[in-house]
């Protein structure tokens, strides 16, 4: 059987998490229109009769503005070396920006002449449903071929599911033989309590405006299943300013209630059970530039 690890890399907001969720057929990674939604490496598992693919979804590679941003870039770059196959996700434009140039540079360095362990790289051009013609896709392919010698280039629409099966077929073709790392029922190795925290953060990202969502972390303080099958979940949204706390809570608690209601529905869908969710908000000034707070909130660079 074929098996191995596939890293999903790219700039922020190109659809990496949407593609991974589509590939495994289940929502695990949170998504939002805002860049830098993914902060950690998210591991999911796809198994069929051909073998097993372990997907590693990574934070978008970007110019870091604080210690959290630096941590996210380290997570993404470390994942390069952990993978057997690399999927580079891009948007369907011919302009090659600084972010893409940096990724191309990293890949060329990783697979330079004489490299001991050359990793296949597949370019996935996402959001092709926005293009008008086949000629537009060919132009994008030509632009990226000038930057890297890809093993394969695949145009897809992760949102609509177009050509996603070709991505799986290509990964299996490029993977070598290997063991079954997880049982057939495993979809992710992330604990449910951590996914619950991410689902709450997803709703904050979608409902809050401007810079506030980038300055929050969500911690699951309690995750307990009662004897009647109902889950009691308590979580804390951490923000950087007292003014941000007021916006998150909203007038009369309206915004926090909306975040909680939407998040509870998502958590119930994940658990297939009723959920009693309580969310609190606290302030930790400039936590994104504090190694101590980052470590306490799970962003510990020593574990990379």
Q: Where along the chain do its domains lie?
A: 2-174, 192-303
Characterize 265-292 residue by residue with b for buried, 16 or more Cβ atoms within 10 angstroms of its Cβ, and e for exposed. ebbeebbeeebebebebeebeebbebee
Residues 248, 213: contact at Cβ < 8 Å?
no
pLDDT one-digit tens code per residue, 68-101: 667 666 766 676 777 899 999 999 999 998 888 8
The rounded distance, in Å, linking the Cα atoms of 133 and 131 is: 6
pLDDT at 134: 84
Q: How confident is the model at residue 30 (pLDDT cuts 50, 70, 90)?
A: low
The rounded distance, in Å, linking the Cα atoms of 280 and 291 is: 23
pTM of the model: 0.80
Q: Give the homologous superfamily in CATH for domain 192-303.
A: K homology (KH) domain (3.30.300.20)
Mean residue pLDDT of the chain comes to 86
Q: How confident is the model at residue 267 (pLDDT cuts 50, 70, 90)?
A: very high
Read off the pLDDT of each residue in 21-32 and give the average, rounded to a whole number. Answer: 78
What's the DSSP call for residue 11? S
The rounded distance, in Å, linking the Cα atoms of 180 and 40 is: 24
pLDDT at 59: 67
pLDDT at 244: 92
Read off the pLDDT of each residue in 218-224 and give the average, rounded to a whole number. Answer: 95
SS3 90: strand
Least confident of 25-34, 145-154, 193-202, 258-267: 25-34
Between residues 131 and 121, which one has the greater pLDDT? 121
Residue 187 has pLDDT above 80, yes or no: yes
Give the rounded percent of residues in the chain with a pLDDT score beyond 70.
85
Q: How confident is the model at residue 12 (pLDDT cuts 50, 70, 90)?
A: confident
SS3 27: coil
Residue 304 has pLDDT above 60, yes or no: no
Burial class (CB in 10 A: 0-12, 13-18, 19+), 79: buried
The rounded distance, in Å, linking the Cα atoms of 37 and 198 is: 10
pLDDT at 303: 59
Give the rounded percent of residues in the chain with a pLDDT score beyond 90.
53
Characterize 49-77 residue by residue with b for buried, 16 or more Cβ atoms within 10 angstroms of its Cβ, and e for exposed. ebbbbbbbbbbbbbeeebbbbebbbebbb
SS3 206: helix
116's CB contacts (< 8 A; 6+ apart) are: none
pLDDT at 65: 64
What's the DSSP call for residue 177? B
Strands (DSSP E) found in the chain: 2-9, 42-48, 51-57, 85-90, 121-125, 152-155, 217-225, 231-239, 275-283
Most confident option among 74-88, 105-119, 201-215, 269-283: 269-283
pLDDT at 140: 94
pLDDT at 10: 87
Residue 227 has pLDDT above 90, yes or no: yes
Residues 92, 137: contact at Cβ < 8 Å?
yes
pLDDT at 162: 92
pLDDT at 141: 95
pLDDT one-digit tens code per residue, 31-45: 656 555 565 667 899
Does the domain at 2-174 match CATH 3.40.50.2300? Answer given as no
Characterize 83-96 residue by residue with b for buried, 16 or more Cβ atoms within 10 angstroms of its Cβ, and e for exposed. bbbbbbbbbbbeee
Read off the pLDDT of each residue in 53-81 and give the average, rounded to a whole number. Answer: 70
Residue 278 has pLDDT above 60, yes or no: yes
């Amino acid at each position: 059987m074929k098996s191995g690890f596939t890293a999903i890399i790219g700039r922020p907001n190109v659809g990496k998490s949407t593609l991974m969720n589509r590939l495994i057929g289940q929502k695990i990674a949170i998504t939002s229109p805002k860049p830098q939604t993914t902060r950690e490496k998210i591991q999911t598992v796809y198994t069929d009769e051909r073998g097993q693919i372990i997907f590693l979804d990574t934070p978008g590679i970007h110019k870091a503005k604080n210690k959290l941003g630096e941590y996210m870039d380290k997570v993404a770059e470390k994942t390069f070396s952990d993978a057997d196959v690399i999927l580079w996700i891009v948007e369907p434009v011919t302009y090659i920006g600084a972010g893409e140039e940096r990724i191309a540079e990293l890949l060329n360095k990783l697979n330079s002449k004489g490299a001991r362990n050359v990793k296949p790289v597949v370019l996935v051009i996402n959001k092709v449903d926005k293009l008008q013609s086949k000629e537009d896709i060919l132009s994008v392919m030509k632009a990226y071929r000038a930057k890297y010698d890809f093993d394969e280039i695949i145009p897809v629409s992760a949102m609509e599911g177009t050509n996603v099966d070709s991505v799986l077929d290509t990964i299996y073709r490029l993977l070598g033989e290997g063991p079954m790392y997880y049982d057939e029922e495993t979809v992710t190795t992330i604990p449910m309590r951590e996914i619950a925290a991410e689902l709450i953060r997803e709703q904050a990202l979608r409902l809050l405006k401007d810079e506030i969502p980038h300055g929050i972390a969500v911690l699951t303080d309690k995750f307990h299943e009662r004897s009647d099958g109902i889950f009691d979940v308590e979580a804390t949204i951490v923000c950087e300013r007292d003014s941000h706390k007021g916006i998150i809570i909203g007038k009369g608690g309206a915004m926090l209630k909306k975040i909680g209601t939407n998040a509870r529905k998502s958590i119930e869908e994940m658990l297939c059970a009723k959920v009693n969710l309580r969310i609190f908000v606290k302030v930790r000034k400039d936590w994104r530039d504090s190694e101590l707070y980052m470590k306490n909130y799970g962003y510990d660079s020593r574990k990379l």
